[in-house]
Chains A and B, each alone.
Chain A
Amino acid sequence: MKLVSAIGLRKRFGEMTAVDGISLDVTRGEVVGFLGPNGAGKSTTMKMITGFLEPDEGSATICGQDVWADPVAAKARLGYLPEGAPAYGDMPVADFLTFCGRMRGLRGARLQERLAEMVERVRLAEVWSKPIEALSKGYRRRVGIAQALIHDPDVLILDEPTDGLDPNQKHEMRELIRAIAPNKSIIVSTHILEEVEAICTRAVIIAKGRVVADATPHDLLEKAAEGRAIRVTVGSPEERDVIERIKPHADGAELEVMERVNGSTRILLRYADNPADAADLAQRLKSADLLIEEVGVWRPRLEDVFRDVTSRLH
């Protein structure tokens, strides 16, 4: 069942087109990761889906309710963590969440029950009566998540929920998102790729206001790995010489310097069609008069896929 649907969203700020026709459906149980360079249009897209920003063209629905035709009904089903987790600094956590709950129509026993659940689930007991401005970044972010979850919404939109958190806090945030994911539709924006692999069922890469890739993280990697590659590490800093010496043995592969580390050079051999055989290559390289340190099949990381897809636009 489609809980979020965006059709042809477009937004211009003056001369600049921030979002250039983004369409997207998210069903229950999906965790969609919005990936993209800074300024790619991730936040703007999220703001349009939440109804905060009016699109120039296109429309969005939350649980079937049009965000612009019936904003109150659509927003009732939505929890939103804006970038930077804004909150009223002078309010204690308890008061702030009570306010958010009341604004969303929660009252009496139901409100108390939800507040208690937030204390437990988001682990806020320690800071419950402290003013928000006195909290650490990690706690502030958690308060932001609690605010978005207080009414148990079907749709959750989180703009960079782990930005600025330390590794432990990031881990906790991911655990939390994973725990609430099964019954909801979640859209998370991030520029941390391991995060997408860790929590998302689907990765949507956005660049220059357009969706340039939309697949499971696994498929994205598979696709990138199609033209198999081998990585050779040679104990010499002379890139050009190394390439010259490897080339005769490379069986028509495309050679590319990946990096130079501590006097060694890493060369990537990309095989366009025939699958590469690392063991065979290692054999052949023995006669190349090179100090071969390592030969192995190279699996791209999501980061490489990301760079690949987004740089193609330039």
Chain B
Amino acid sequence: MTTSLSTVGVVFGREFRAYFATPLAAIFLVVFLALSGAMTFFISNFFERNSADLSAFFAWLPWLFLVLLPAIGMRLWAEERRQGTIELLMTMPVEPGAIVLGKFLAGWAFTAVALLFTTPLWLTVNWLGTPDNGVIAISYVGALLMAGAFLAIAACVSALTKNQVIAFIGAAIVTFLLVTAGIDLVLGALRGWAPFWLTEGVAALSVLNHFQRITQGLVEVPTLVFFASLIVIALIVNTSLVDLKKAQ
């Protein structure tokens, strides 16, 4: 009998390798790196800022992740359902939760690889000046947490459909709402009429606010709880969605 933990490992191994079975992964990586570089250097004028830090890079990251993570997560379940392999998967002697977790971790590891490829930026600022490497390290961890939350949501949406494109668009919309919940435009529109608790509630749901505090080097319990609970809740919902939708 397979223990749940080793099932997670087996699923992880297959899924992680599946990212590299098609050129899609390479394309994602290249696009992500090109966009993150272009935004940091050209749009945010990295050199003219005359400050040795990566805040320009991290400021763009939520918006890039908005596209990248739905792309990474879209195939996780939609493809199983389209191919019919979900019928194999769900008749194996394993806990469905272990499969959900293994798939999620594989996508997360792939995101970590993408982030790893941005470390030349980190080396560059060290070469140009003396940045606060502690803040940058914390920011990277924060970026990974944010990516985890986005990916868990994308995997969840992917379980709702057989179509990867629909999974992508659906996940992008949900994560867009989570990101924009914190920008002044949205909050300003709410403040006019909504009660205080609602405005604050929406602001507290904002990925942007939480992530900005991390990139300032502030590691706070509410922020960690926020990202962790987003991931956990999405994975739990994912598990029941898979069970609910598998046979359709």
Q: Which residues in A have some Cβ–Cβ distance to B below 8 Å?
A: 47, 50-53, 71-76, 78, 80, 82-84, 86-91, 95, 99-100, 102-105, 147
Name the residue of chain B whose CB is nearest to the CB of A106: B2
A86 touches B2 (CB 8 A): no
Bound complex: CA of A103 vs CA of B14, how far in Å?
A: 11
What residues on A are CB-neighbors of B14 within 8 Å?
88, 91, 95, 99
* B247: Cβ under 8 A from any A Cβ: yes
* B83: Cβ under 8 A from any A Cβ: yes
Interface size of B in residues (CB-CB distance below 8 Å): 24
Chain B 33-50 interface residues, beta-carbon cutoff 8 Å to A? none
B87 touches A52 (CB 8 A): yes
Q: How far is the CB of A41 from chain B (nearest CB, A)?
A: 14
A105 touches B88 (CB 8 A): no
What residues on A are CB-neighbors of B87 within 8 Å?
47, 52, 80, 82, 86
Q: How far is the CB of A73 from chain B (nearest CB, A)?
A: 7
A103 touches B2 (CB 8 A): yes
Q: CB-defined interface of B1-19 with A at 8 Å, one 1/0 digit per residue?
A: 1100001001101100010
Q: How far is the CB of B215 from chain A (nearest CB, A)?
A: 37
* B119: Cβ under 8 A from any A Cβ: no
Given contacts A53-B247, A80-B88, contact A102 B83 (CB under 8 A): no
What residues on B are CB-neighbors of A82 within 8 Å?
84, 87-88, 91
List 10 A-B residue pairs with CB atoms under 8 Å apart, sorted by A's residue number: A51-B90, A52-B246, A83-B84, A86-B87, A88-B18, A88-B83, A91-B14, A99-B14, A100-B92, A104-B2
Pick from A53, A75, A86, A91: contact of B92, CB below 8 A.
A75
A51 touches B91 (CB 8 A): yes
A90 touches B92 (CB 8 A): no
What residues on A are CB-neighbors of B88 within 8 Å?
80, 82, 86-87, 100, 147
Q: CB-defined interface of B63-103 with A at 8 Å, one 1/0 digit per residue?
A: 00000000000000000000111011111111100000000
What residues on B are CB-neighbors of A76 within 8 Å?
1, 93
Interface centre among A73, A82, A105 (most CB of B within 10 A): A105
Given contacts A86-B85, A86-B87, contact A73 B10 (CB under 8 A): no
Name the residue of chain A whose CB is nearest to the CB of B83: A86
Q: How far is the CB of A69 from chain B (nearest CB, A)?
A: 14
Bound complex: CA of A83 vs CA of B84, how far in Å?
A: 9
Bound complex: CA of A88 vs CA of B19, how far in Å?
A: 13
Given contacts A87-B85, A105-B1, contact A72 B93 (CB under 8 A): yes
Bound complex: CA of A147 vs CA of B89, how far in Å?
A: 11
* B221: Cβ under 8 A from any A Cβ: no
What residues on B are CB-neighbors of A75 within 8 Å?
91-93
Given contacts A50-B91, A91-B21, contact A86 B1 (CB under 8 A): no
Ordered nearest first, which 3 A-B pairs have the shortest CB separation? A86-B84, A76-B93, A105-B2
Q: How far is the CB of B167 from chain A (nearest CB, A)?
A: 18
